[in-house]
Amino acid sequence: DVHLKKELIDIIENCLLPAKRASQVLGLKLKRFYRWRKDCTLFGVDGLVDEKPIAKVIPNKLLTEEEEAIYEYARFHPKQRHREIQFNLDRGGLATASFSSVYRRLKKKGLIKEHHLKISKHKKGRPTATYAHEIWLVDITFVPVGNGFWYLIAVIDLYSRYIEGSDLSATMTSKDVQKVIDFALLQYGFYEKEDKPKIHSDNGSQMKAKSFKAFLKDLGILNEYSRPHVPEDQAVLERFFRTIKQGEVYHQEYENHYQAKDGISEFINYYNHRRPHQGIGFITPYEKLTGQKERIFKERKTRAIVAQEMRKIMNRREINTDTSEEMTPVKNRNKKIFV
Protein backbone atom coordinates (compact mmCIF):
# COMPACT_ATOMS: atom_id res chain seq x y z
CA ASP A 1 0.00 0.00 0.00
CA VAL A 2 1.46 3.38 -1.05
CA HIS A 3 0.13 5.29 1.96
CA LEU A 4 1.47 2.70 4.41
CA LYS A 5 4.93 2.88 2.83
CA LYS A 6 4.89 6.71 3.05
CA GLU A 7 3.79 6.54 6.66
CA LEU A 8 6.60 4.11 7.59
CA ILE A 9 9.17 6.34 5.88
CA ASP A 10 7.94 9.38 7.85
CA ILE A 11 7.99 7.47 11.16
CA ILE A 12 11.58 6.28 10.71
CA GLU A 13 12.82 9.68 9.54
CA ASN A 14 11.15 11.59 12.38
CA CYS A 15 11.82 9.25 15.30
CA LEU A 16 14.81 9.68 17.62
CA LEU A 17 16.14 6.18 16.99
CA PRO A 18 18.72 5.45 14.29
CA ALA A 19 17.21 4.26 11.01
CA LYS A 20 18.57 0.73 11.50
CA ARG A 21 17.04 0.34 14.96
CA ALA A 22 13.75 1.97 13.96
CA SER A 23 13.45 -0.37 10.96
CA GLN A 24 14.02 -3.40 13.21
CA VAL A 25 11.30 -2.23 15.60
CA LEU A 26 8.85 -1.81 12.71
CA GLY A 27 9.84 -5.19 11.20
CA LEU A 28 11.20 -3.57 8.06
CA LYS A 29 14.48 -4.38 6.35
CA LEU A 30 16.85 -1.42 6.29
CA LYS A 31 17.63 -1.86 2.58
CA ARG A 32 13.94 -1.75 1.77
CA PHE A 33 13.52 1.49 3.77
CA TYR A 34 16.38 3.14 1.88
CA ARG A 35 14.95 1.98 -1.45
CA TRP A 36 11.49 3.31 -0.62
CA ARG A 37 12.90 6.64 0.53
CA LYS A 38 14.99 6.96 -2.63
CA ASP A 39 12.02 6.16 -4.88
CA CYS A 40 9.83 8.62 -3.01
CA THR A 41 12.48 11.35 -3.29
CA LEU A 42 13.00 10.84 -7.03
CA PHE A 43 9.46 10.12 -8.18
CA GLY A 44 7.23 11.31 -5.35
CA VAL A 45 4.45 9.11 -3.99
CA ASP A 46 4.10 7.44 -7.42
CA GLY A 47 7.56 5.97 -6.90
CA LEU A 48 6.13 3.77 -4.14
CA VAL A 49 3.70 2.01 -6.49
CA ASP A 50 4.66 -1.65 -6.97
CA GLU A 51 5.64 -2.45 -10.54
CA LYS A 52 4.29 -5.55 -12.23
CA PRO A 53 6.93 -8.26 -12.23
CA ILE A 54 8.75 -8.69 -15.51
CA ALA A 55 8.05 -12.06 -17.03
CA LYS A 56 10.99 -14.43 -16.95
CA VAL A 57 12.41 -15.24 -20.35
CA ILE A 58 12.87 -18.96 -21.02
CA PRO A 59 14.98 -18.80 -24.17
CA ASN A 60 14.64 -22.44 -25.23
CA LYS A 61 10.93 -22.79 -24.52
CA LEU A 62 9.15 -24.47 -27.43
CA LEU A 63 7.17 -22.10 -29.58
CA THR A 64 3.39 -22.43 -29.68
CA GLU A 65 3.44 -23.59 -33.30
CA GLU A 66 6.02 -26.27 -32.40
CA GLU A 67 3.84 -27.60 -29.58
CA GLU A 68 0.79 -27.65 -31.84
CA ALA A 69 2.78 -29.55 -34.48
CA ILE A 70 3.71 -32.18 -31.86
CA TYR A 71 0.09 -32.63 -30.73
CA GLU A 72 -1.30 -32.76 -34.26
CA TYR A 73 1.27 -35.29 -35.47
CA ALA A 74 0.72 -37.51 -32.41
CA ARG A 75 -3.06 -37.54 -32.93
CA PHE A 76 -2.65 -38.57 -36.58
CA HIS A 77 -0.07 -41.27 -35.69
CA PRO A 78 -1.35 -42.89 -32.48
CA LYS A 79 0.80 -46.01 -32.95
CA GLN A 80 4.08 -44.11 -32.87
CA ARG A 81 5.93 -43.61 -29.59
CA HIS A 82 7.47 -40.30 -28.58
CA ARG A 83 10.94 -41.08 -29.92
CA GLU A 84 9.63 -41.95 -33.36
CA ILE A 85 7.41 -38.86 -33.31
CA GLN A 86 10.39 -36.67 -32.41
CA PHE A 87 12.44 -38.18 -35.23
CA ASN A 88 9.74 -37.67 -37.86
CA LEU A 89 8.97 -34.12 -36.75
CA ASP A 90 12.65 -33.21 -36.97
CA ARG A 91 13.20 -34.98 -40.28
CA GLY A 92 10.10 -33.35 -41.77
CA GLY A 93 11.05 -29.86 -40.61
CA LEU A 94 7.90 -29.54 -38.48
CA ALA A 95 9.60 -29.15 -35.09
CA THR A 96 13.08 -29.72 -33.72
CA ALA A 97 12.83 -30.67 -30.06
CA SER A 98 14.47 -33.11 -27.68
CA PHE A 99 12.95 -36.50 -26.87
CA SER A 100 12.19 -35.34 -23.32
CA SER A 101 10.41 -32.18 -24.53
CA VAL A 102 8.19 -34.20 -26.85
CA TYR A 103 7.53 -36.79 -24.14
CA ARG A 104 6.51 -34.21 -21.50
CA ARG A 105 4.05 -32.50 -23.79
CA LEU A 106 2.49 -35.72 -25.03
CA LYS A 107 2.15 -37.03 -21.49
CA LYS A 108 0.53 -33.77 -20.38
CA LYS A 109 -2.11 -34.19 -23.10
CA GLY A 110 -2.58 -37.90 -22.43
CA LEU A 111 -1.20 -38.83 -25.86
CA ILE A 112 1.41 -41.30 -24.71
CA LYS A 113 1.37 -44.76 -23.20
CA GLU A 114 3.79 -45.89 -20.53
CA HIS A 115 6.35 -48.35 -21.81
CA HIS A 116 8.26 -50.57 -19.42
CA LEU A 117 11.54 -51.99 -20.69
CA LYS A 118 12.72 -55.38 -19.53
CA ILE A 119 16.41 -55.47 -18.68
CA SER A 120 18.15 -58.54 -20.02
CA LYS A 121 20.38 -60.58 -17.72
CA HIS A 122 22.38 -62.04 -20.61
CA LYS A 123 23.92 -59.06 -22.41
CA LYS A 124 27.43 -60.40 -21.97
CA GLY A 125 28.29 -62.88 -24.69
CA ARG A 126 25.83 -61.62 -27.28
CA PRO A 127 27.08 -61.45 -30.88
CA THR A 128 28.26 -57.99 -31.93
CA ALA A 129 29.09 -56.50 -35.32
CA THR A 130 31.33 -53.56 -36.24
CA TYR A 131 30.46 -53.20 -39.93
CA ALA A 132 27.64 -53.91 -42.36
CA HIS A 133 27.11 -57.51 -43.54
CA GLU A 134 29.47 -58.90 -40.91
CA ILE A 135 26.84 -61.01 -39.12
CA TRP A 136 23.32 -61.91 -40.22
CA LEU A 137 20.78 -63.25 -37.75
CA VAL A 138 18.21 -65.79 -38.96
CA ASP A 139 15.01 -66.80 -37.20
CA ILE A 140 11.36 -67.80 -37.64
CA THR A 141 8.12 -66.59 -36.06
CA PHE A 142 4.41 -67.40 -36.34
CA VAL A 143 1.90 -65.16 -38.14
CA PRO A 144 -1.86 -65.83 -37.82
CA VAL A 145 -3.47 -66.17 -41.26
CA GLY A 146 -7.10 -67.19 -41.70
CA ASN A 147 -7.81 -70.04 -39.30
CA GLY A 148 -4.20 -71.13 -38.99
CA PHE A 149 -0.60 -69.92 -39.00
CA TRP A 150 2.08 -69.17 -41.55
CA TYR A 151 5.76 -68.70 -40.80
CA LEU A 152 7.74 -65.50 -41.25
CA ILE A 153 11.42 -66.26 -41.93
CA ALA A 154 13.69 -63.24 -41.68
CA VAL A 155 17.38 -62.38 -42.07
CA ILE A 156 18.59 -59.19 -40.35
CA ASP A 157 21.96 -57.45 -40.51
CA LEU A 158 23.18 -57.20 -36.92
CA TYR A 159 25.17 -53.99 -37.51
CA SER A 160 22.47 -51.91 -39.22
CA ARG A 161 19.25 -53.74 -38.21
CA TYR A 162 18.37 -53.87 -41.91
CA ILE A 163 16.11 -56.75 -43.00
CA GLU A 164 18.20 -58.40 -45.72
CA GLY A 165 15.57 -60.92 -46.74
CA SER A 166 12.25 -62.38 -45.63
CA ASP A 167 9.52 -64.73 -46.72
CA LEU A 168 6.10 -65.79 -45.45
CA SER A 169 6.01 -69.55 -45.87
CA ALA A 170 3.44 -72.27 -45.26
CA THR A 171 6.22 -74.45 -43.83
CA MET A 172 9.38 -73.81 -41.86
CA THR A 173 11.83 -76.40 -43.14
CA SER A 174 15.56 -75.90 -43.55
CA LYS A 175 14.98 -75.48 -47.29
CA ASP A 176 12.63 -72.56 -46.58
CA VAL A 177 15.35 -70.90 -44.51
CA GLN A 178 17.96 -71.59 -47.21
CA LYS A 179 15.74 -69.90 -49.80
CA VAL A 180 15.62 -66.65 -47.79
CA ILE A 181 19.39 -66.63 -47.18
CA ASP A 182 20.01 -67.43 -50.85
CA PHE A 183 17.89 -64.44 -51.90
CA ALA A 184 19.79 -62.10 -49.55
CA LEU A 185 23.17 -63.33 -50.80
CA LEU A 186 22.16 -62.86 -54.44
CA GLN A 187 20.76 -59.39 -53.75
CA TYR A 188 24.12 -58.11 -52.53
CA GLY A 189 26.31 -60.10 -54.90
CA PHE A 190 27.93 -62.22 -52.21
CA TYR A 191 28.20 -65.25 -54.47
CA GLU A 192 30.96 -63.37 -56.32
CA LYS A 193 32.72 -62.25 -53.13
CA GLU A 194 35.13 -64.12 -50.90
CA ASP A 195 34.06 -62.41 -47.67
CA LYS A 196 30.54 -63.42 -46.82
CA PRO A 197 28.47 -62.67 -43.73
CA LYS A 198 28.45 -65.06 -40.79
CA ILE A 199 25.08 -66.64 -40.10
CA HIS A 200 23.94 -66.60 -36.47
CA SER A 201 20.88 -68.63 -35.54
CA ASP A 202 19.19 -70.34 -32.64
CA ASN A 203 19.35 -74.07 -32.03
CA GLY A 204 16.16 -74.94 -33.89
CA SER A 205 15.92 -78.13 -35.90
CA GLN A 206 15.95 -76.22 -39.19
CA MET A 207 19.28 -74.58 -38.33
CA LYS A 208 20.80 -77.82 -37.04
CA ALA A 209 19.76 -79.88 -40.07
CA LYS A 210 22.57 -81.49 -42.07
CA SER A 211 21.23 -80.00 -45.30
CA PHE A 212 21.38 -76.49 -43.83
CA LYS A 213 24.92 -76.93 -42.56
CA ALA A 214 25.99 -78.35 -45.92
CA PHE A 215 24.37 -75.40 -47.72
CA LEU A 216 26.41 -72.91 -45.70
CA LYS A 217 29.60 -74.96 -45.89
CA ASP A 218 29.44 -75.13 -49.68
CA LEU A 219 29.22 -71.33 -49.76
CA GLY A 220 32.09 -70.90 -47.34
CA ILE A 221 29.83 -69.28 -44.74
CA LEU A 222 30.51 -69.68 -41.03
CA ASN A 223 27.53 -70.60 -38.88
CA GLU A 224 27.26 -69.60 -35.21
CA TYR A 225 24.59 -70.71 -32.76
CA SER A 226 23.03 -69.03 -29.76
CA ARG A 227 23.96 -70.24 -26.31
CA PRO A 228 21.56 -72.89 -25.00
CA HIS A 229 18.53 -71.40 -23.22
CA VAL A 230 19.67 -67.82 -23.97
CA PRO A 231 17.18 -66.38 -26.49
CA GLU A 232 18.71 -62.94 -25.88
CA ASP A 233 21.49 -63.88 -28.32
CA GLN A 234 18.87 -63.37 -31.03
CA ALA A 235 17.51 -60.23 -29.34
CA VAL A 236 17.88 -57.93 -32.35
CA LEU A 237 15.77 -60.18 -34.58
CA GLU A 238 13.33 -61.02 -31.78
CA ARG A 239 12.84 -57.28 -31.29
CA PHE A 240 12.05 -56.90 -34.99
CA PHE A 241 9.47 -59.68 -34.76
CA ARG A 242 7.82 -57.90 -31.83
CA THR A 243 7.88 -54.60 -33.74
CA ILE A 244 6.24 -56.01 -36.86
CA LYS A 245 3.60 -57.81 -34.84
CA GLN A 246 2.74 -54.77 -32.74
CA GLY A 247 2.90 -52.40 -35.70
CA GLU A 248 1.22 -54.55 -38.36
CA VAL A 249 0.19 -58.14 -37.66
CA TYR A 250 -1.88 -57.63 -34.48
CA HIS A 251 -3.85 -54.83 -36.14
CA GLN A 252 -4.93 -57.01 -39.07
CA GLU A 253 -7.04 -60.09 -39.67
CA TYR A 254 -5.47 -61.66 -42.74
CA GLU A 255 -7.99 -63.76 -44.63
CA ASN A 256 -5.29 -65.38 -46.76
CA HIS A 257 -1.53 -65.43 -47.18
CA TYR A 258 -1.66 -62.96 -50.07
CA GLN A 259 -2.99 -60.26 -47.75
CA ALA A 260 -0.44 -61.22 -45.13
CA LYS A 261 2.47 -61.06 -47.58
CA ASP A 262 1.40 -57.65 -48.87
CA GLY A 263 1.00 -56.20 -45.37
CA ILE A 264 4.27 -57.64 -44.08
CA SER A 265 6.21 -56.59 -47.17
CA GLU A 266 4.92 -53.02 -46.87
CA PHE A 267 5.81 -52.85 -43.18
CA ILE A 268 9.33 -54.20 -43.76
CA ASN A 269 9.89 -51.51 -46.39
CA TYR A 270 8.73 -48.92 -43.85
CA TYR A 271 10.93 -50.47 -41.15
CA ASN A 272 14.03 -50.45 -43.34
CA HIS A 273 13.67 -47.01 -44.92
CA ARG A 274 11.48 -44.75 -42.76
CA ARG A 275 11.31 -45.96 -39.18
CA PRO A 276 13.99 -44.64 -36.76
CA HIS A 277 15.72 -47.29 -34.66
CA GLN A 278 16.69 -46.50 -31.08
CA GLY A 279 19.53 -49.02 -31.03
CA ILE A 280 21.40 -47.28 -33.87
CA GLY A 281 20.98 -43.64 -32.83
CA PHE A 282 17.49 -42.97 -34.21
CA ILE A 283 18.34 -43.31 -37.86
CA THR A 284 16.81 -45.85 -40.23
CA PRO A 285 18.44 -49.23 -40.85
CA TYR A 286 19.02 -48.26 -44.49
CA GLU A 287 20.85 -45.09 -43.45
CA LYS A 288 23.07 -47.09 -41.11
CA LEU A 289 23.66 -49.79 -43.73
CA THR A 290 24.74 -47.23 -46.35
CA GLY A 291 27.06 -45.26 -44.05
CA GLN A 292 24.99 -42.09 -43.66
CA LYS A 293 25.13 -41.96 -39.86
CA GLU A 294 27.79 -39.24 -39.45
CA ARG A 295 26.19 -36.94 -42.02
CA ILE A 296 22.77 -37.28 -40.43
CA PHE A 297 24.10 -36.66 -36.93
CA LYS A 298 25.85 -33.51 -38.16
CA GLU A 299 22.69 -32.23 -39.88
CA ARG A 300 20.63 -33.04 -36.80
CA LYS A 301 22.98 -31.05 -34.58
CA THR A 302 22.86 -28.08 -36.97
CA ARG A 303 19.05 -28.10 -36.99
CA ALA A 304 18.99 -28.18 -33.18
CA ILE A 305 21.30 -25.15 -32.95
CA VAL A 306 19.23 -23.18 -35.47
CA ALA A 307 15.99 -24.07 -33.67
CA GLN A 308 17.39 -22.98 -30.29
CA GLU A 309 18.54 -19.63 -31.67
CA MET A 310 15.16 -19.06 -33.30
CA ARG A 311 13.36 -19.83 -30.03
CA LYS A 312 15.56 -17.36 -28.17
CA ILE A 313 14.65 -14.61 -30.63
CA MET A 314 10.93 -15.43 -30.72
CA ASN A 315 10.55 -15.93 -26.95
CA ARG A 316 12.31 -12.64 -26.15
CA ARG A 317 10.22 -10.87 -28.77
CA GLU A 318 7.04 -12.30 -27.23
CA ILE A 319 8.06 -11.18 -23.73
CA ASN A 320 8.95 -7.68 -24.93
CA THR A 321 5.62 -7.37 -26.75
CA ASP A 322 3.65 -8.52 -23.72
CA THR A 323 5.42 -6.21 -21.31
CA SER A 324 5.10 -3.18 -23.59
CA GLU A 325 1.35 -3.74 -23.90
CA GLU A 326 0.60 -4.58 -20.27
CA MET A 327 3.05 -2.44 -18.29
CA THR A 328 3.14 1.33 -17.93
CA PRO A 329 6.30 2.06 -16.00
CA VAL A 330 6.07 4.83 -13.43
CA LYS A 331 9.80 5.11 -12.83
CA ASN A 332 13.21 4.18 -14.10
CA ARG A 333 15.58 3.51 -11.24
CA ASN A 334 18.59 3.11 -13.50
CA LYS A 335 18.13 6.43 -15.27
CA LYS A 336 20.08 9.37 -13.89
CA ILE A 337 18.01 12.45 -13.19
CA PHE A 338 19.67 15.83 -13.32
CA VAL A 339 18.07 18.68 -11.39
The tens-digit pLDDT sequence of the chain (339 residues) is: 788 888 888 888 888 888 888 888 888 888 988 988 988 888 888 888 876 665 566 777 888 888 888 888 888 888 787 878 887 888 788 888 887 888 888 888 888 766 554 544 545 567 889 999 999 999 999 999 998 999 999 999 999 999 999 999 999 999 999 999 999 999 989 988 889 999 999 888 999 999 999 999 999 999 998 887 777 888 999 999 999 999 999 999 999 999 999 999 999 999 999 998 988 999 999 999 999 999 999 998 888 888 888 888 887 776 666 555 554 444 444 443 332
The residue range of the domain holding 45 is 2-50
Q: Are residues 46 and 56 in the same domain?
A: no
Residue 143: the pLDDT is 96
Same domain as 75, residue 20: no
Tell me how far apart the alpha carbons of residues 302 and 37 are, in angstroms, rounded to a whole number.
52
Q: Residue 85, Cα to own-chain centre: how many angstroms?
A: 7
**What is the count of structural domains for the chain?**
3
For residue 54, what pLDDT is reported?
A: 59
Q: Are residues 35 and 173 in the same domain?
A: no
Query: What is the distance between the alpha carbons of residues 156 and 138, in angstroms, rounded to a whole number?
Result: 7
**Residues 150 and 274 reside in one and the same domain:** yes
Helix, strand, coil percent content, the chain, rounded in steps of 5: 55, 10, 35
For residue 172, the model assigns a pLDDT of 92
Residue 90 within any structural domain of the chain: yes
The answer to whether residues 173 and 262 belong to one domain is: yes
- Domain containing 145 — which CATH number? 3.30.420.10
Please check whether residue 127 lies inside any domain of the structure: no
Mention every residue, 6+ apart, whose C-beta is less than 8 A from residue 168: 143, 150, 151, 152, 153, 257, 260, 261, 264
